[in-house]
């Protein structure tokens, strides 16, 4: 949807879609494999005259003028005659300096950086602006963008058509079936999901301390390094490298056993973990005001102690959207809308619930809330858009599988999959499964 006030398009829905493996993305959007018809730059003279006129009008009015050639996917680049492009770029440099993000470069061969073969993602626009204005807080791919003028146009053209990367097919029209999915700008990251530790296993969400320690030992012996969500976000946003074989360990709900049993074991093996707490249940032993006993949850005081270790982080599992169908009179199934609830009412309720969750966590622990684990794993496009608007960088589902995170692409942190690491899975089986999915 076009936004007249900014001149931009609202890409809220596309900007929260799950983006992971390259193979899946190409299956979802087959247009990236399409061979586009050849085009001739017949209006070159008229285009250059228009640019000159705009430049002159800006000069007359004292308006700053900057020309940017936007990122172009390589199949669109293939449409144009190379000699004509070189002529256009050369003549353009004689009219005005410009920033050029087109050509065959590290972005043009990565389809996940594009909505379709003709439109780059907003995140790529952010990278281009970071390059122009020297913003070191954002990831910018190597070789992406050059300031071109008459003095360096020949050097620019010398590399403009030679940036093709391994993995294109013989015709140069698109990624081949074996296009690498693990390279210098992507990383496979498994995320493990735990809940409660107890000697008595009553359901699939419970694991014994002995089995949990077995998982940690197996991961450690296999060379896996447990990372924090802040490290994960920094990889995507800033391009900060992750350790070899990264893994994320998460706990949902915030049970006391996380503090009493899991925390000592995590310290023993020096492994980081994130606990996603239900706000209304922090420090509770009964379910809200019902008087019904529940498995005890740790307090904010205990959360602060764990945070001080540098190994444990506290994130949100909603304030009060993890409802019980048996105990809640005004029951909501996860973050879904209730029957008869208007969209406006739902948006207000969802925003209020998350904001309270974030406020109580940050005020009581000084943890920075950047992630949200969906209650019961349920989520919608609307909930993803709302969380994105509220500054949440990472969202978790309970869908099983591997994640591929991509530098410069925040969408790769959304609706992340997690492996249920239960009592029925040995340490060796867990490692074997993760390794198989990483290399798939």
pLDDT at 166: 36
The residue behind tokens 């705009």 is 54
Beta bridge partners of 403: 189
Which residues of the chain carry a pLDDT beneath 70? Answer: 163-182
CATH architecture of 186-439: Alpha-Beta Barrel (3.20)
pLDDT at 163: 62
Phi-psi region of 123 (alpha: psi -120 to 50; beta: other; left: phi over 0): alpha
Q: Distance between the two ends of the chain, CA-based, in angstroms?
A: 37
pLDDT at 179: 38
Model pLDDT for residues 213-236, shown as the tens digit of each residue: 999 999 999 999 999 999 999 999
pLDDT at 10: 87
pLDDT at 175: 41
Domain limits, the chain: 32-160, 186-439
């Amino acid at each position: 949807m076009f936004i007249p006030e900014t001149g931009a398009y609202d890409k809220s829905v596309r900007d929260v879609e799950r983006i992971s493996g390259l193979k899946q993305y190409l299956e979802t959007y087959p247009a990236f494999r399409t061979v586009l018809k050849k085009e001739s730059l017949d209006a070159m003279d008229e285009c250059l005259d228009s640019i000159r006129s705009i430049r002159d009008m800006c000069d007359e009015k004292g308006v700053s003028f900057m020309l940017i050639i936007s990122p172009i996917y390589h199949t669109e680049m293939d449409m144009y005659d190379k000699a004509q492009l070189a002529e256009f770029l050369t003549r353009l440099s004689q009219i005005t300096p410009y920033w050029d993000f087109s050509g065959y470069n590290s972005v043009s061969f990565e389809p996940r950086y594009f909505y379709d073969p003709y439109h780059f993602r907003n995140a790529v626009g952010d990278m281009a602006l970071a390059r122009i204005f020297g913003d070191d807080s954002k990831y910018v791919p190597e070789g992406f963008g050059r300031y071109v003028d008459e003095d360096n146009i020949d050097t620019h053209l010398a590399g403009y058509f030679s940036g093709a990367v391994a993995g294109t097919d013989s015709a140069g029209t698109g990624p081949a079936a074996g296009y690498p999915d693990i390279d210098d700008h992507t990383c496979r990251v498994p995320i493990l999901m735990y809940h409660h530790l107890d000697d008595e296993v009553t359901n699939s969400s419970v694991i014994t301390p002995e089995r949990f320690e077995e998982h940690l030992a197996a991961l450690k012996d296999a060379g896996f390094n447990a990372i924090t969500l802040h490290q994960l976000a920094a990889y995507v946003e800033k391009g900060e490298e992750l350790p070899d074989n990264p893994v994320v360990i998460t706990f949902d709900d915030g049970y006391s056993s996380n503090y009493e049993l899991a925390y000592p074991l995590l310290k023993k093996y020096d492994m980081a973990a994130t606990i996603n707490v239900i706000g209304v249940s922090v420090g509770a032993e009964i379910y809200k005001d019902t008087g019904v006993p529940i498995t005890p949850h740790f307090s904010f005081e205990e959360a602060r102690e764990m945070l001080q270790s540098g190994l444990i982080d506290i994130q949100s599992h909603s304030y009060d959207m993890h409802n019980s169908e048996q105990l809640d009179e005004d029951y909501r199934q996860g973050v879904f809308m209730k029957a008869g609830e208007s969209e406006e009412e739902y948006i207000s309720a969802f925003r209020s619930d998350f904001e309270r969750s974030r406020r109580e966590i940050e005020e009581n622990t000084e943890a920075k809330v950047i992630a949200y684990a969906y209650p019961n794993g349920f989520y919608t496009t609307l909930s993803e858009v709302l969380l994105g608007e509220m500054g949440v960088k990472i969202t978790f589902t309970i869908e099983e599988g591997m994640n591929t995170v991509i530098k410069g692409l925040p969408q790769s942190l959304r609706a992340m999959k997690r492996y249920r690491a239960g009592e029925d899975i040995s340490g060796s089986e867990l490692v074997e499964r993760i390794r198989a999915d990483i290399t798939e």
